[in-house]
Amino acid sequence: MKALFVSGDVGGARALLPVMGACERHSFPFAVCRHGHIVTEAPERWEWIHPDGTADMRNFFAENGVGVLVFATSSKDTTALTLARRAGECLIPTIHVLDNWTSYALRMRMDGLPPFVPDVYTVIDDLSRREAEEDGVDGSVLYVTGQPALASLAEEYRVWLNSGVGNVSHRAASRSGKRVMAFISEPVTHDQGATSASSRYRGYTEKEVLSLFCQTMQPSADSVQIMVLPHPREDREELSRHWESSRGVLEGEIASVDRGRKAIFGADAVVGMASLLLYEAWLLGKPVMSLQPGLRVKPLRMLARREGVLFIDTYENTADRVKKWISSIRFGARHSPLPELRLHEKAPEDVFRLIERYAKQKKTHRMRSQS
């Protein structure tokens, strides 16, 4: 019996890829659904399956030898959740891999149906476990495994530091005497709405945050330049126009790196909203600021609990707090990964062990739904 993997967006795909790598290392049979972002990053040598939505799913799972379904949810794409429901109906164990500290319970009902309860719901750390339970996720299915996408972070950073290649913008800034501050953008409006008319509204939009950031950084324009990193699902040209209209006297550019991780490697400090990249930067020991004025979504306060992170959720005294934060940064210092990174380094193996265990189990009841 094999494991079948399915995801939709970037975050979910990158959380599953290292787990599939663990399956390959252990010669455990698996297949990947040819759907979503994962298609652009997974190697073609793996077995690919394209489910037919009109097919008899019981026969589909049986014909493909599926013994466990591993999925990651998306804020918009419900394909993975739908397939997980079908697997549950066919008494096939399901494992959900969490990629971020948001929408714990909502992920299991994004399709408008009653909440789905997988056999396993992996969470990133003890904080996400507590928050998931508070949000209504059944605590009996929660397992702390770390985030598989972060498993290679420390090693990639070490290789980057030793390669001498670095980031082009970072090198240019160093020669000019300016330090690089990365701004990590997110498709907030697209995903959560731009006003309180949306039930998922964060309390701000990405444009408002970038404008506020540029405004507070004007006094530091002589010493800092900005590298704006678009999210893969953002309109790069629209973001570029907003940057140009907001930058004032700041120097900078829209980053052209193919992975956001490369941007934070080359940055002296990292600013953004609630992106996982801010957490990655914090794990690497870099100065981090989370700017979320008017925040009304509790799970997005995750970075406020991280020692050393400047977390701003109001408009009051923002300029003074940012100025004080910048003055405390030791620009040019070599940053060292934090001990917390160790939890994530073993995440792919921890999730793999769960797959191995549940693939051997024979289920005798249908998946439950939370009331």
Task: Output the six-digit token pair for 208.
Answer: 């408002």
The 10s digit of each residue's pLDDT in 12-40 is 999 999 999 999 999 999 999 999 999 99
Cα–Cα distance between 298 and 342 in angstroms, integer? 26
Q: Please name the residue ranges forming H helices in 51-200.
A: 57-63, 79-89, 126-134, 153-163, 168-176, 188-192
Q: Which of 16-30, 48-62, 121-135, 275-289 is the least confident region?
A: 48-62
The Cα–Cα gap between 313 and 203 comes to 9
CB-count burial class (<10 Å; 0-12, 13-18, 19+) for 308: exposed
The answer to whether 251 and 232 are in contact (CB under 8 A) is: no
Query: Which residues make Cβ contacts (< 8 Å) with residue 27, sequence separation at least 6?
Result: none
Is the model more confident about 95 or about 330? 95
The answer, yes or no, to whether residue 321 has pLDDT greater than 60, is: yes
Identify the CA nearest to 102 among candidates 131, 140, 60, 68: 131
- Burial (Cβ within 10 Å: 0-12, 13-18, ≥19) of residue 333: exposed
Rounded Cα gap, residues 272 and 295, in angstroms: 13
Q: In the numeric block, which tokens belong to residue 288?
A: 């981090």
Taking domain 153-342, whether its CATH number is 3.40.50.2000 is answered by: yes
Looking at residue 371, what is its pLDDT? 37
Three-class SS of residue 58? helix
Nearest by Cα to 260 from 225, 234, 292: 234
What tens digit of pLDDT does each residue of 237-291 get?
Answer: 999 999 999 999 999 999 986 678 888 998 999 999 999 999 999 999 999 999 9
- Report whether pLDDT(210) > 60: yes
Choose between 79 and 256: higher pLDDT: 79
* pLDDT tens digits, one per residue of 103-112: 899 999 999 9
> What's the mean pLDDT in 283-309?
93
Tell me: pLDDT of 335 over 80.
Answer: no
Residues 6+ positions from 291 with CB-CB distance below 8 Å: 209, 212, 213, 271, 272, 273, 312, 318
For the chain, the C-alpha Rg in angstroms (whole number) is: 21
Asked if pLDDT for residue 340 goes beyond 60, the answer is yes
Q: Residue 168's pLDDT band (boundaries 50, 70, 90)?
A: very low
Name the helix (H) or strand (E) containing 289.
strand 288-291
Instruction: Give pLDDT, residue 362.
Output: 66
CATH of segment(s) 2-150+346-359 = 3.40.50.2000
For the chain, the structural domain boundaries read: 2-150+346-359, 153-342
Phi, psi of 91 (to 5 degrees): 60, 30
Token match 């399901």: residue?
94
Please work out, in degrees rounded to the nearest 5, the angle formed at the alpha carbon of residue 258 by the alpha carbons of 335 and 341: 35
> For residue 233, what pLDDT is reported?
87
CB-CB contact of 47 with 33 (8 Å): no
pLDDT over 90 at 186, yes or no: yes
Task: Summarize the chain as % helix, strand, coil (round to 5).
Answer: 45, 15, 40
Structure tokens at 259: 């992975």
Q: CB-side exposure of 246: number of CA atoms within 13 Å? A: 22
Q: How many Å separate Cα 368 from the centre of its chain? A: 27
Categorize the per-residue pLDDT at 165 as very low, low, confident or very high, splitting at 50, 70 and 90.
low
Q: DSSP 3-state assignment of 5? A: strand
Which residue do the tokens 């939890």 mark? Answer: 343
- Segment 225-232 shows an average pLDDT of 93
Average pLDDT, the chain: 90
pTM assigned to the model: 0.86
Burial class (CB in 10 A: 0-12, 13-18, 19+), 365: exposed
The reply to whether 153-342 shares the fold of 2-150+346-359 is yes
Sheet holding 120-123, edge to edge: 48-49, 30-33, 2-6, 66-71, 94-97, 120-123, 142-144
Residue 315 near residue 295, CB atoms below 8 Å: no
